[in-house]
Amino acid sequence: MTDDGMLMNFEIGDAPLLPKQKFQGGRWKDRLAAKRIVEKRISKPSNPSTRELFKENRHTVAVEDYIGPSTESRAPKRQRVDSETGRNVDTAKFISGKLPPGSINIGGPKRSVPIQEETRPAFVSGKLPPGSIKIGGPSRSVTIPEETRPAFVSGKLPPGSIKIGGNRSTTFPEETRSAFVSGKLPLGSIESRGNASQGFTNGGHQTESGKPNQIISSLFSFNPSAKTKFEEPEEEVEPAKPSNAPLTEEMETFTALGLSRRLAAHLSTKLDMKAPTAIQKAAIPEMIKDDSDAFIQAETGSGKTLAYLLPIVERILAMSSDDVKVHRDSGLFAIVLTPTRELCKQIASVLEKLLRCAPWIVGTTVIGGESKQSEKARLRKGVNILIATPGRLADHLDNTEVLKVNTVRWLVLDEGDRLMELGFEDEIKGIVEKIGRRPVSAVRDRINGLDTKALPSRRVTILCSATMKMNVQRLGEISLKDAVHIQADPSDIEATRNDTDGVEVDEKAFSAPAQLKQAYAVVPAKLRLVTLTAILKRAFARRGSVMKAIVFISCADSVDFHFSLFSRPWEVSEEDEENAAEAPPLTKTDLTKDTIAHGTAFSSKTNPVVLCKLHGSLAQNIRTATLKAFTESAEPCVMVCTDVASRGLDMPNVDYVIEYDPPFSAEDHLHRVGRTARAGKDGRALIFLLPGEEEEYVSILASGYKDGKKALTHHTAEDLLRKGFGGTGREWEDRATEWQLEVERWSQDSPKYLEMARRGFQSHIRAYATHVANERHIFNMQTLHLGHLAKAFALRDKPGSIKVPGLRPAKMTKADRSVAARKAKRGEVEEKAPEGERVRKQRKLDLDLPSLNDSAAKRMKQKMKEHMAVASEFNIG
Ligand SMILES: Nc1ncnc2c1ncn2[C@@H]1O[C@H](COP(=O)(O)OP(=O)(O)OP(=O)(O)O)[C@@H](O)[C@H]1O
pLDDT number for residue 722: 95
Q: Are residues 702 and 607 in the same domain?
A: yes
State the ipTM, two decimals: 0.99
Domain containing residue 412: CATH number: 3.40.50.300
Question: Mind giving me the DSSP string for 253-273?
Answer: -TGGGT--HHHHHHHHHTS--
Domain that holds residue 590: 519-572+585-746
664 occurs within a structural domain:
yes
Q: Residue 273: CB within 6 Å of ligand 1?
A: yes
242 lines ligand 1 (CB under 6 A): no
Q: Do 657 and 737 sit in the same domain of this protein?
A: yes
Same domain flag for 613 and 489: no
The DSSP bridge pattern shows strands 596-598 and 548-552 to be unpaired
For residue 335, the CA-to-ligand 1 centroid distance in Å is 20
Nearest CA to ligand 1 atom 25: 300
**Cβ-contact 18, 73 below 8 angstroms:** yes
Residues 713 and 604 placed together within one structural domain of the fold: yes
Q: Which of 267, 296, 302, 643 to mutate to test the pocket of ligand 1 (most atoms within 8 A of CB)?
A: 302
**Contact assessment for residue 863 and residue 784, using Cβ atoms and an 8 Å cutoff:** yes
608 CB less than 6 Å from ligand 1?
no
How deeply is 588 buried, as exposed, middle or buried, from its count of CB atoms within 10 A (0-12, 13-18, 19+)? middle
The answer to whether residues 319 and 326 touch, using CB atoms and an 8 Å cutoff, is: yes
Residue that finishes a domain, picked among 444, 479, 495: 495
Is the shortest distance between the CB of 416 and ligand 1 below 6 Å? no
Tell me the H-state helices in 712-780: 717-725, 731-749, 751-768
Q: How many Å lie between the centroid of ligand 1 and the Cα of residue 279? A: 10
Shared domain check, 482 and 347:
yes
> Could you tell me which of 193, 173, 195, 194 has the C-alpha nearest to residue 184?
195
d(CA 754, CA 561): 9
Torsion of CA 15, 17, 18, 22, to 10 degrees: 180
**Cα 271 to ligand 1 centroid, rounded to whole Å:** 12
In terms of domains, do 315 and 379 share one? yes
Q: How far apart are CA 330 and CA 355, in angstroms?
A: 16
Report DSSP letters for 640-699, one per residue.
EE-GGGTSS---TTEEEEEESS--SSHHHHHHHHTTSS-TT--EEEEEEE-SSGGGGHHH
814 CB neighbour count, 10 Å cutoff: 7
Phi, psi values for residue 396, rounded to 5°: -65, -35
Distance CA 510, CA 674 (A): 12
Decide if 628 is inside a domain. Answer: yes
Distance (angstroms) between ligand 1 centre and the Cα of 680 equals: 10
542 and 416 assigned to the same domain: no
The pLDDT score that the predictor gives to residue 53 is: 29
> What is the predicted pLDDT for the residue at 224?
86
276 lines ligand 1 (CB under 6 A): yes
Confidence at residue 712, expressed as pLDDT on a 0 to 100 scale: 84
d(C-alpha 682, C-alpha 240), whole Å: 10
Q: Is the CB of 466 under 6 A from ligand 1?
A: yes
Is residue 685 a contact partner of residue 656, using CB atoms and an 8 Å limit?
Answer: yes
Query: Is the CB–ligand 1 distance for residue 648 below 6 Å?
Result: yes
**Do 491 and 526 share a structural domain?**
no
Q: Is residue 354 part of a domain?
A: yes
Residue type, 46: S
How do beta strands 484-486 and 334-337 pair?
unpaired
Answer yes or no: is the C-beta of 661 below 6 A from any ligand 1 atom: no
Q: Is the CB of 679 under 6 A from ligand 1?
A: yes
In a domain, 238, yes or no: no
Rounded to the nearest whole angstrom, what is the distance from the C-alpha of residue 701 to the centroid of ligand 1? 23
Tell whether 177 is covered by a domain.
no
Same structural domain for residues 528 and 483? no
Q: Is 252 in the pocket of ligand 1 (CB under 6 A)?
A: no
Residues in the chain: 877
Ligand 1 mutation pick, 284, 306, 414, max ligand atoms within 8 A of CB: 306
SS3 853: coil
Ligand 1 atom nearest 466 alpha carbon? 25
For atom 10 of ligand 1, which residue has the closest CA? 303
79 in a domain, yes or no? Answer: no
Same domain, 435 and 561: no
- Residue 304 Cβ inside 6 Å of ligand 1? The answer reads yes
SS3 519: strand
Rounded to a whole number, what is the distance in angstroms from the first to the last CA of the chain?
14
| Cα 548 to Cα 558: distance, rounded to the nearest angstrom | 20
Residues 529 and 397 in one domain: no
- Examine the domain organization and report whether 476 and 552 are in the same domain: no
| The last residue of a domain, from among 696, 715, 746 | 746
Nearest atom in ligand 1 to 306's CA? 18
Domain end, chosen from 714, 746, 778, is at 746
User: Looking at ligand 1, which residue's alpha carbon is closest to its atom 31?
Assistant: 303
What's the confidence (pLDDT) of residue 17?
A: 39
Does residue 471 lie in a domain region?
Answer: yes
Asked if residue 58 is part of any domain, the answer here is: no
For 512, the 3-state DSSP assignment is coil
* pLDDT per 10-residue tile (average), the chain, 877 residues: 30 38 62 68 45 32 28 38 43 40 40 43 49 46 50 47 40 40 37 31 38 66 80 62 82 91 95 94 94 91 96 94 86 93 93 96 92 94 95 94 92 88 83 74 58 86 83 72 84 54 42 89 96 96 86 95 94 57 76 94 90 92 93 94 89 94 90 93 95 90 68 89 91 92 93 93 89 87 88 85 51 47 39 35 40 50 43 22
> Comparing C-alpha atoms, which of 347, 317, 772, 789 is closest to residue 529?
789
Q: Based on the structure, what is the number of domains in the chain?
A: 2
